[in-house]
Amino acid sequence: MKLVVLERNSVGTDIDVSCFEKFGEVTYYPNTVAENTAERVTDADIIIANKAPLNENTLKDAPHVKLICLFATGFDNVDLNYCKSRGIKVANVINYCTPAVAQHTLMLALMLTEKAAFYDSYVKSGTYSAQDRFSNFDRPFNDLEGKTWGIVGMGTIGRKVAGLAQAFGCRVIFYSASGKSSCTDYERVELETLLKESDILSLHCPLSDRTRGLINKEAFAQMKETAILINVARGPVVDTQALYDALITNQIAAAGLDVLEKEPMTRDNPLAKIQDSTRLIITPHMAWASTESRNNLVGEVCKNIAAFLEGEERNIVNP
């Protein structure tokens, strides 16, 4: 059995991935892009990947592939129909990073609500030491308690965030991006209501035709001027130019992003112009990547492979 790990470094070099070696001969590549995917999978029986494109163009000369395992929940980089036509099973990993993403969501919301970047800089710059009073609260900040926290996507992560928000005393409402949510623990509303009533709006939905560009110019026009947007879902759920315009015209108060339309961030992204971290915080697609989550991820991929070799379908997304 030959296994090829196309993006070994995508889980971090601090994480042990030797569990794959019990299944056969393993070839590791630190990273793989579209241009070199095909040549690297030619002899593979099992491919382990993250973002590398796996489609007819990259798989047509790989006759032995039986299984593709993803270091991810999303599988938009894989042509499922082509794989199904070839009898290639595709397995993802679910719920491996829920605590980490929920924690990151709260971190972004709290930093922006408390204007933590301003006060940290205030102290470290020496300005605090130079003043004659014991405190400083020149930039007003607010309690979370009593605020309305809106959520798009009430899946596992959305529910975790909802529980944390509720623990802070927030009223939680949500919009079902798929229209199929069975959640009855929180108030379900239409998108227009969610936009108008949310003090904090966090996004936890998958990217689909229904959610691409969901938070756009029209959406920002309906939000409160005091609202904070948090996106830890997928970058294209938010229209980048519309967000930039909303921030510089004070249509909303602030935004915290862990994902962008194009990653890594391009130099021409207008959001790069906003240097005020009380208005905008951007982290480099890391919400999922706590040490615990990355260990979970590798372990789950190993379980997917073991199950497949035993004739079981575990986390198969193209049955």
Give catalytic residues, as residue numbers: 234, 263, 285
**Residue for token pair 């270091």:** 71
Alpha helices (H) along the chain: 34-41, 56-59, 80-86, 98-114, 116-124, 127-130, 156-167, 191-197, 217-222, 240-248, 291-309
Neighbours of 91 (CB within 10 A): 24
DSSP lists the bridge partners of residue 91 as: 69, 316
| Residue 128, CA atoms < 13 Å, CB-side half-sphere | 13
Q: Which residues of 120-155 are buried (b: 16+ CB within 10 A; e: fewer)?
A: eebeeeeeeeeeeeeeeeeeeeeebeebbbbbbbbb
